[in-house]
Structure 1
């Protein structure tokens, strides 16, 4: 039986070493450069978009991921075994043992990493969609033709399962980076939303992670800040829901201001302080 009592001291200790973050921002806002604020010896970057040119001098380790099955394998090595899945499913004991036997050096290296930086969740969903279209669920039983609805359903199920598996990774801080896109409706109203394939995963992600941050450009406006995504002079994190900028944000820790300086390492220290 895996059930156990967790004391307050144990809960506090575990919480200090474990935070899940979704970090969104417009293209070019400096999301990937946040790697430079993290301890390189403890950080592993999962590079899904071949986008590390902006941090070429960063001395940490990375893994290039080009297919969704590879992403599932890496997530299994990071998160371990999910006892709730079928014996032949992703993240099962059989899946995990197969990976340990196939990639022993990779497994040992991953075990030394405390922070997982996923760059990006936008490309993760694109890879998942390409994979989903090849699966039987994406072919109509009646017509034998591609079934887009089936592909999107499979995409949502498997991406959400992967995100939740990483959410439960013991002792790990996991940072999901994604593109934030500007959407203007027929009435010229502007909203900002994560750029991801399929709507279900994007809707559920804020409920999975502890923190949602938006990184964008701002100008000073008196004692506050004015969002200026194209022309702003300073980068800032937006950290709290209901902010005046209309940007996605959430602070489960209750320790962050509405906006914070663009230093992810310092932000994690503030979130996890005793």
Structure 2
């Protein structure tokens, strides 16, 4: 039996060493440039969209990924073995041991990283969809023709499995970056939602991660008490801020399990992680 009691001190140490986060923002908002606010020597960027042009001077490591199968292998190396997985399944002891034996230098390099920046989850789901369409589950047994529902079902299972595996990566902070799109419905109401292939993975992601935040443009204004307030101004705003709390007045995706973040925070992931993981003294 592998079950054991986790003490309060152990739980606190683990909480201070890892956070899972989903970060969304419109295309061109500068999500990738937030890499520059993270410690370069401790961070690896999983580059799924070939989008690091904006951070050419960032000194951290990146790992280009162009196939979903490669994304699964990297997630296995980062997250370790899942003791519940069967020997022939992804993330099993056998899968993990095989990868470490085949890529020892890569495994050692990844072991040294404390922060994993996944750029982007939008492209991860696109790669997963391309892979799912080639699988037997994406073909109708009755007609032999492509079965879209089967492909989407497989995509959801595999992507959610990968996200949950990274969620359990010991001692790692994992940041999933994704595109946020604005949709105007038939009643002229604006809705902001993550851009991902398949609705199930997008719906379940907020429940998997500790923190959800949206990078947006804001304009400062003076509040009733004379303090600076921030107005969401996606067209003309000159200041990037991270929206961190659910129920915010702009209807943007956000969630704060730590309870330590303000409604909006400066666009600095290093400072944000420090605020989340370290309780104030006193």
Deviation at 1:227, TM superposition (A): 1.2
- Counterpart of 2:103 in structure 1 is 103
Cα deviation for residue 53 of structure 1 reads 0.4
Q: After TM superposition, give the deviation of residue 56 of structure 1 in Å.
A: 0.3
1:22 — aligned with what? 22
Secondary structure of 2:90's partner? coil
Cα distance in 1 between the residues matched to 2:270 and 2:30: 14
Question: Which residue pairs with 2:114 in the alignment?
Answer: 114
Q: CA deviation at 1:149?
A: 0.2
In 2, the alpha carbon distance for the partners of 1:62 and 1:36 equals: 13
SS at match of 2:240: strand
Residue 267 of structure 2 corresponds to which residue in structure 1?
Answer: 262
Q: Secondary structure at the match of 1:166?
A: helix
User: In 2, Cα distance between the equivalents of 1:270 and 1:245?
Assistant: 23
Partner of 1:150: 150
User: 1:219 offset after TM fit, Å?
Assistant: 1.1
Matches of 2:183 and 2:114, distance apart in 1: 35
Secondary structure of 1:62's aligned partner: strand
Q: Distance in 1 between matches of 2:96 and 2:128?
A: 20
SS at 2:98 equivalent: helix
SS in 1 for 2:178: strand
Task: Please give the TM-score of this superposition, normalised by the length of structure 1.
Answer: 0.99
Partner residue, 1:248: 253
Aligned residue among 232, 235, 238 for 1:230? 235
Consecutive unaligned residues in structure 2, runs of 5 or more:
224-228
More deviation, 78-87/42-51: 78-87
1:221 counterpart residue number: 221
Displacement after TM superposition at 1:84 (Å): 1.3
Q: CA deviation at 1:221?
A: 3.1
> What do residues 198-238 of structure 1 show as CA deviations (whole Å, max 9, x unaligned)?
00000000000000010010112332222111211111000
Matches for 1:124-139 after TM superposition, within 5 Å:
124-139=124-139
Give, in whole Å, the separation in 1 of the partners of 2:218 and 2:40: 28
In 2, the alpha carbon distance for the partners of 1:198 and 1:136 equals 18
Query: Alpha carbon RMSD of aligned pairs, Å?
Result: 0.6
| Number of matched pairs | 274
Shift of residue 108 of structure 1?
A: 0.3
Superposition pairs of residues 34-45 of structure 1, within 5 angstroms: 34-45=34-45
In structure 2, C-alpha distance between the alignment counterparts of 1:118 and 1:2, rounded to whole Å? 30
Q: What whole-Å deviation, never above 9, does each CA across 1:159-211 have from its counterpart, x for those lacking one? A: 00000000000000000000000011011100100000000000000000000
Instruction: Please name the residue that 2:72 is paired with.
Output: 72
Cross-structure match for 2:244: 239
Alpha-carbon distance between aligned partners in 1 of 2:189 and 2:90, rounded to the nearest angstrom: 42
List alignment gaps of at least 5 residues for structure 1: none
Hey, what's the Cα distance between the residues in 2 that align with 1:5 and 1:254?
25
Distance 1:62 1:261 in 2: 25
For 1:96 and 1:144, the matched residues in 2 are separated by 35
Residue 9 of structure 1 is matched in structure 2 by: 9
